[in-house]
Amino acid sequence: DVVMTQSPLSLPVTLGQPASISCRSSQSLVYSNGNTYLNWFQQRPGQSPRRLIYVVSNRDSGVPDRFSGSGSGTDFTLQISRVEAEDVGVYYCMQGSHWPYTFGQGTKLEIK
Amino acid sequence: EVQLVESGGGLVQPGGSLRLSCAASGFTFSDYDMDWVRQFPGKGLEWVGRTRNRVGSYSTMYAASVEGRFTVSRDDSEKSVYLQMNSLKTEDTAVYYCTRDNWGSLDVWGQGTMVTVSS
């Protein structure tokens, strides 16, 4: 199985400051059709996971543009340009290029 | 509104069985593959299993940890997907989510249903 490794696992951030989460895969996530199926999810306290980003950098409808995804091959990043209080929660990366789908361990974002 | 609603969770003894259901609404259910994902008490997420749509011949796939014990099925007329769980173990304790599979991604999630396996 593809191992997804996130860092950091805990991320204290001051309101209004940027935040960055890294996700690395144990093998390339480039699929046979040329797409890279790397996703980011947000899980707020007490809620189900919600998809934020798909195919590395595509934001879901309703996701604020302060969230952005980047990367290629095996190295990916989720960036939040200015953290707001509503961003508190756990962020997971997930690969959908290889079976079975696998998730990172999660990064807990909290306000300093 | 696109929605998935799970039901059927509860407390079961080791070795027992449980059947989870997921009712879909707000989209053409028969067009999509559907997956189950679980979240352990320590918060890690694990993909559990998948049923393809009619184009995919309703084929199923499972995580190694549940292969032979869990069965995913669907009823397009009822817009529902199911997870039959047999020979349950304490390590199956988790919140189980129904999700919509959309090209290498899980774009819609239900609210989850808790399964506790304990004597």
Q: How many other CB atoms are there within 10 angstroms of residue B105's CB atom?
A: 23
List chain B residues with CB under 8 Å of A90: 43
pLDDT of residue B12: 98
**pLDDT more than 90, % of chain A:** 100
Question: B77: which strand partners?
Answer: none
pLDDT above 90 covers a percentage of chain B that reads 98
Tokens of B113: 């249903």
Q: What is the pLDDT of residue B76?
A: 98
The predicted-structure confidence for A29-53, as pLDDT tens digits, reads as follows: 999 999 999 999 999 999 999 999 9
Q: Is the pLDDT of residue A94 over 90?
A: yes
Q: What is the CA B60 to chain-centroid distance, rounded?
A: 12
Total beta-carbon pairs less than 8 A apart between chain A and chain B: 55
Res A97: pLDDT:
97
CA distances to B44, B53, B95 from B10, rounded to whole Å, are: 20, 28, 10
B111 vs A106: CB contact, 8 Å cut-off? no
- Chain A residue at shortest CA distance from B110: A48
Q: Indicate if the pLDDT at residue B36 is higher than 90.
A: yes
pLDDT higher than 90, residue B42: no
pLDDT tens digits, residue range B59-108? Answer: 999 999 999 999 999 999 999 999 999 999 999 999 999 999 999 999 99
Q: Is A31–B104 a contact, with Cβ atoms under 8 angstroms apart?
A: yes
Average pLDDT, chain A: 98
- Residue A91: is its pLDDT beyond 90? yes
C-alpha to C-alpha distance for A67 and B39, rounded to whole angstroms: 24
Residues of A with Cβ-Cβ distance to B47 under 8 angstroms = 100-103
Inter-chain touch B43–A99, beta carbons under 8 Å? no
pLDDT of residue A100: 96
Q: Which of A55, A60, A101 sits opposite B47 (nearest CB)?
A: A101
pLDDT at A53: 98
